Amino acid sequence: MSKDAEVKRPGLRQRLGQRLLSCGARLIERGNRLVATEEEVEDFGTQPPSLVIPDRIAAWLTEHEYHFQRFDDGEIGGIWDGNPHWFTLVGDDKTYLQVRGKWRHDALMLQRSEVLQIVNDWNREYLWPKVYVRRDDEGTWLFAEVTTSLPVGATDAQLATLLDMSLGTANSFFDTLPKPENPELTAGS
C-alpha cells in the first residue's frame, strides 16, 4: 500500500471512535485519548457492584433487543455485524468476563504476512481488544477478545459499558480487515 493510500484511509483510531459513538457511547477527546463524559463516570458510582452472572449478561442483551443463544455450559453467543461473539465467565471463581468475537471470514484468504501485520499493528496500537489468529480443522480464524477481571462484580452501568465496548471494538477491528474475494469462506459454513 502506498503512503498516499494510507493517508486518505481513516485511521484505526478514528474508525474506532466512530464505532464507539455508533454504539451509543458519548466520548470526549483529551489529548490523544478518548474517554467517557463526566456524566457517565458519575453514573458508575450510583449503584453498588454485584457479581456478573450469565443472567445479567442475558438481561442486558434482551434489553437491547439482541438475538442470542444460551448454551448448557452457561456461555452466551450471538451474531453481531455478521460476526459470531461469545460471552463467557472464566477462571476458578468465574470472575473474569470474556467477550470473544470471531471474524466471519477464513483468514486463509489473506496472505500470512498480511495477517501477521494486521494483528501486530492492532495489538501495538490498542490495549483492547486483544486480537489473535487460531487455526482449527475448519480454517484459520481471526479473533478479538476482551477479558476483564471482575472479582467484586460490576454495576449495571459498568457492565453495559463493558459489553458495549467489547462488541463495538471487536467489530471495529473486523471492519478494518480486507473484504474477501470469495465470501463463501465464512465462519460456520
Tell me, letter by letter, the H, E, C secondary structure of the chain: CCHHHHHHCCCHHHHHHHHHHHCCCCEEEECCEEEECHHHHHHHCCCCCECCCHHHHHHHHHHCCCCCEECCCCCEEEEECCEEEEEEEECCCCCEEEEEEECCECHHHCCHHHHHHHHHHHHHHCCCCEEEEEEECCEEEEEEEEEEECCCCECHHHHHHHHHHHHHHHHHHHHCCCCCCCCCCECCC
In a domain, 102, yes or no: yes
In a domain, 120, yes or no: yes
Quote the pLDDT of residue 34: 43
The mean pLDDT value for 40-53 works out to 72
In a domain, 133, yes or no: yes
Number of domains in the chain: 1
Q: Is the pLDDT of residue 1 over 80?
A: no
The mean pLDDT value for 83-91 works out to 96
In a domain, 52, yes or no: yes
Q: What is the pLDDT of residues 146-189, one digit of tens each?
A: 999 999 999 999 999 999 999 999 999 999 998 776 655 555 54
How far apart are alpha carbons 157 and 160 in whole angstroms?
5
Quote the pLDDT of residue 107: 85
Quote the pLDDT of residue 124: 92
Q: What CA–CA distances, in Å, run from 183 to 109, 173, 176, 179, 186?
A: 10, 18, 16, 8, 7
In a domain, 109, yes or no: yes
In a domain, 144, yes or no: yes
Domain containing 122 equals 48-175
Of 5-19, 117-131, 134-148, the one with minimum mean pLDDT is 5-19
Question: Sorting pLDDT into bands at 50, 70 and 90, what band is 42?
Answer: low
Cell 463495538, residue? 168
pTM score > 0.75 for this model?
no
Question: What are the two backbone dihedrals, phi and then psi, of residue 118, each rounded to the nearest 5 degrees?
Answer: -60, -50
The larger pLDDT score, comparing residue 39 to residue 102, is at 102
In a domain, 56, yes or no: yes
Domain at 81, CATH number: 3.30.1460.70
Question: Sorting pLDDT into bands at 50, 70 and 90, what band is 145?
Answer: very high
In a domain, 3, yes or no: no
